[in-house]
Amino acid sequence: MVRREDSAPREEILDSWKQIAQYLHREVRTCYRWARELGLPVHRINDKSPKSKVFAYKDEIDKWLKEKTRYQVLPKNGVHTKRRLIYGGISIFALLSIVAIAKWQPFTSGGRTISVAVAPLKSLDSSENDDYLSEVLTRAIAENLPVPDKLRVIPAFSLRRSPKNFVDVEKLGDGLDADYVLRGEVKKGNPTIQVSVELVRTNGGSIIWASPFLEPLEKVLTIPPSICAAIHRVLKISSETLARNSIYPKDYRALDSYLKGDFILGRLNSGSDDPWQLYHQGEYHAGRFTPEANELAIKLFSQAKEIDPTFALAYIGLASCYANYVNFNWQYNISWLNKAEELLAKAQALAPDLPEYYGALITVKILKEAGFSEDVWTSVEKLVAEGVKRCGSNPRLNSIIGYFYYRKFGREGDMGAFQMALEYKERSFWLDPYDIGNVVYANILLLDKKFAKALEVCDILGKVDETRMSKFLRGEIYYYMGDFDRSRSVFEQLTADSLEYKIGALYYLAMISAGKGEASKAKKNMEEIEFLSPDEFVYFEKELKLASIWAGLGEKVLASKTLEAFLNDPKNQKDYYIYKKYIELDNNFLQMRHDKVFENNFNFKGETHGKKQDN
């Protein structure tokens, strides 16, 4: 038993798991896990018996929280929650496409919210060619199931190392903080398809509801909303889950091609590289950011459009593929975006105001504005307003709207827009925590000094991230927290990576060395960058990083000139207030920020640049 010299008042002692959980505003099983894996200070009357009565001191828990979060105490209110436009060395447009496919789930700041882990539906077909169908149906269920402030979805199907089956629901519930697990099977026949599902309570493993759903193949996408409506009734949750029967073609061949194309398009952006055998194409590896996968999706969407020229979603899918040419910098030509707009106009004429239409068109418009300096921002604002009004709960649309507000903040410095960006990106995170697009959410959290939450997002992404974006971001978070040692450790590992990551890591290592007063190390890092960088290599934030290095080394005049050149570059003006936040967070600029001349020269209050003053 742990003994303390002081005698703590009774009200400062928590003498059960329930009281500990209430104090932390977490589930009991979350506190179990924190004690087991993270060292939450919980004591036992008899420390040799795992069944002994537990107790904890509030001051020890508070100290533990501060140590875990370092510079930000983990919030005690709300549920356990989980950057920027330009990401060092990585295309701005690659990040934009990542943002566009994140999913939606509302965040509950208080009250009891039921959580359901959606497991991957098992295909009962002997051939693996139809696996795409079970995944499409699983994701459709996860998108239709959430209810704001009432029901939260945990996408267990996104786990890279998810169990082969979900038999041990109690263990799964403990690991994911889920109240229920939804699992099931898909049997595709001709001309029908059957989806059998069951809802299992994680506490005890009892099946509280099970049912088969049988429909003709051409109505396959009406099944997920029906399943979700039934679950809402069982859990006594009011909702408006509607099937969109009218937009699907009667010819199943068109729908089948669309489903395959949408499946490929989603996996293209998902950060996964698992092998999948696709129908009529044989074995195919859906790689990360591969133009080959994009070409396959184009072929499938085109097939769907040819079979049924009135199928609006096929035009939208094809437009998204064309936008990817620019998004991923495969063929950096505005003509692809123009073609995408033409396809979207046809889709709008066939089936007006689909949420997929708004999400795709906003993405195309932002790409034109950001990459080709087209004056379309006003039209983007109107599209966002329309999208929110007509179909504000669509997953992809919510995510791109969050990105829009992030860009709006960068332009105007409007903290209201910044908070809206946080809100929409938080919604996206809740439905698909494992989507690599959540690096943008973590970036925004970093700018908001929510370091603990940002690191939490990186922890989750690290389980599935093949790109190392989340690892790089973790190093950045540590840097802006002022934890140079842990930041240095991360970036030293990344110097063995690809050229983009290596150069980006070297910049941060130089910034760290400068901040620690290690001038010789910082200059050595800069010399290595100069040696490694090809003539055609462009590091988007070179001047900003150099200014930080010079500031850390005490070269204030050189730092000011470098920073002025960066902020006065027209291509950086649209993101002025995003960069401003990074400058405010960077401890290398600390001494300069206390200098009135520095403040006036760089106009952080916004007079010269015509920006709104921060609240």
The CA distance from 233 to 188, in Å, is 27
pLDDT band for position 243 (cuts 50, 70, 90)? low
Count of residues for the chain?
Answer: 615
* Rounded mean pLDDT, 44-49: 73
CATH of domain 112-245: 3.40.50.10070
Contact predicate 576/566, CB 8 Å: no
Report which of 244, 193, 243 is spatially closest to residue 218, judged by C-alpha positions: 193
Output the CA angle 433-424-334, nearest 5 degrees. Answer: 95
Cis, peptide link before residue 352, omega less than 30° from 0: no
Predicted model pTM: 0.65
* 526: its two tokens: 């800069």
* 278: its two tokens: 């696709």
Sign (positive or negative) of CA dihedral 433, 436, 441, 443: positive
pLDDT band for position 477 (cuts 50, 70, 90)? very high
Residue 11 bridge partners (DSSP): none
Say yes or no: do domains 10-69 and 462-602 share a fold. Answer: no
pLDDT digits (tens, 9 = 90+) for 349-380: 998 888 889 989 999 999 998 888 888 899 99
The yes-or-no verdict on residue 89 having pLDDT over 50 is: no
Helix (H, G, I), strand (E, B) or coil at 291: helix
Choose between 537 and 35: higher pLDDT.
35
Q: Extract the runs of DSSP E, i.e. beta strands, from 142-299.
A: 151-154, 180-188, 192-201, 207-216, 275-278, 282-285
Determine the pLDDT at residue 543.
92
pLDDT digits (tens, 9 = 90+) for 311-353: 888 899 899 989 988 887 788 899 999 999 999 999 999 988 8
Most confident range, picked from 98-102, 178-182, 403-407, 445-449: 445-449
The CA distance from 372 to 38, in Å, is 48
* 480: its two tokens: 């802006």
> Which residue is it, tokens 């950045």?
476
DSSP assignments along 527-570, one per residue:
HHHHHH--TT---TTHHHHHHHHHHHTT-HHHHHHHHHHHHTSH
Contact predicate 207/167, CB 8 Å: no
Where in the chain are the domains? Answer: 10-69, 112-245, 462-602
Sign (positive or negative) of CA dihedral 381, 583, 442, 318: positive
Determine the pLDDT at residue 105.
33
In CATH terms, the fold of domain 10-69 is Arc Repressor Mutant, subunit A (1.10.10)
Q: Cα–chain-centroid distance for residue 596?
A: 39
Determine the pLDDT at residue 254.
81
> Which residue is it, tokens 């506490």?
203
> Which residue is it, tokens 């509607």?
242
In CATH terms, the fold of domain 462-602 is 1.25.40
* Alpha-helical regions (H) of 432-539: 438-447, 451-461, 469-481, 484-494, 499-515, 519-532
The yes-or-no verdict on residue 392 having pLDDT over 70 is: no
Choose between 598 and 430: higher pLDDT.
430
